[in-house]
């Protein structure tokens, strides 16, 4: 007779992309799972760390192409916890940074199922760092502001305006498709020479980083795959990127021809 395991759920932050950036605690939880529900941006190499006998269920949401709604995901977590026992909900970055972790926790706990959270390395910090862009630097930036580009209704978050009026480094998630609009909005409050970077596939082998300024980044928009997610960084710290000044010199020379 098959033994029914006690239902438990662990929310694990997988880190910013590369499979080796998950925490040791997160990897231990992953290897102890009876079933894994994973997101779209999870590195496939990380899934290879899980025994072949363990069910792996994709529940990703990408660019309006949702395989499941959030309500569907909540129900799947509970159903699989009662069916298999230990559910690991594997989420990109950190579960509490725009990861809707609280919604999942509230729903799961309403069924009396205990939930544990394993923090992850947030892409908001790690991805710029992988490109040599610091969030803070003495004499340049003493704080940073992490935000999403738009609200549920599609309008800009008020935080975008407030952050633009500060001297803080701005880190904007889920905003690549509105890159032109974002740079135009921020340019109302910051000079057109303010450094800016767009990073995609962060920490992965195919990572790309486009650097420029608020005034020049629009000319590069066609070189950026707007169908893929990315991180936008705005502020003087972007000038720390190794290729920033070289890229700007090339733009000036090209525009003068």
Q: What pLDDT, on the 0 to 100 scale, is given for residue 86?
A: 98
**Rounded-to-integer distance, Cα 42 and Cα 93, Å:** 9
**Rounded-to-integer distance, Cα 49 and Cα 46, Å:** 5
Half-sphere exposure of 70 (CA within 13 A, CB side): 10
Tokens coding 219: 């000319």
Q: Given pLDDT bands bounded at 50, 70 and 90, which one contains residue 113? A: very high
Mean pLDDT on 157-185: 92
Q: Which of 21, 237, 17, 208 is nearest to 133 (CA)?
A: 237
Q: What is the pLDDT of residues 71-108, one digit of tens each?
A: 999 999 999 999 999 999 999 999 999 999 999 999 99
Q: What is the pLDDT of residues 208-237, one digit of tens each?
A: 999 999 988 776 666 788 888 899 999 999
**Rounded-to-integer distance, Cα 190 and Cα 163, Å:** 10
Instruction: Write down the pTM of the prediction.
Output: 0.90
> What percentage of the chain has pLDDT greater than the value 90?
75
Q: What pLDDT, on the 0 to 100 scale, is given for residue 152?
A: 76
Q: Are 38 and 60 in contact (CB under 8 A)?
A: yes
Q: Which of 82, 124, 120, 125 is nearest to 101 (CA)?
A: 120
**Rounded-to-integer distance, Cα 178 and Cα 108, Å:** 34
């Amino acid at each position: 007779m098959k033994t029914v395991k006690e239902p438990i759920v662990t929310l694990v932050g997988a880190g910013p992309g590369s499979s080796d950036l998950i925490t040791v605690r997160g990897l231990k939880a992953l290897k102890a799972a009876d079933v894994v529900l994973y997101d779209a941006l999870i590195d496939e190499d990380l899934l290879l760390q899980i025994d072949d006998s363990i069910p792996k269920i994709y529940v990703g949401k990408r660019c309006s192409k949702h395989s499941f709604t959030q309500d569907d995901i909540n129900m799947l977590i509970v159903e699989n916890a009662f069916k298999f026992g230990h559910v690991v909900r594997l989420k990109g970055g950190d579960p509490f940074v725009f990861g809707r972790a609280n919604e999942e926790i509230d729903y799961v706990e309403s069924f009396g199922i205990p939930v544990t959270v394993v923090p992850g390395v947030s892409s908001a910090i790690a991805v710029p760092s992988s490109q040599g862009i610091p969030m803070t630097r003495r004499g340049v930036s003493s704080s940073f502001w992490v935000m999403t580009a738009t609200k549920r209704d599609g309008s800009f978050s008020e935080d975008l305006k407030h952050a633009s009026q500060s001297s803080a480094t701005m880190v904007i998630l889920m905003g690549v498709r509105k890159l032109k609009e974002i740079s135009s909005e921020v340019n109302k409050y910051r000079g057109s020479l303010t450094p800016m970077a767009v990073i995609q596939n962060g920490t992965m082998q195919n990572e790309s980083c486009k650097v420029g300024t608020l005034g020049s980044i629009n000319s590069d928009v066609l070189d950026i795959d707007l169908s893929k997610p990315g991180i936008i960084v705005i502020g003087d710290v972007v000038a720390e990127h190794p290729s920033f000044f070289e890229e700007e010199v090339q733009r000036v020379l090209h525009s003068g021809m």
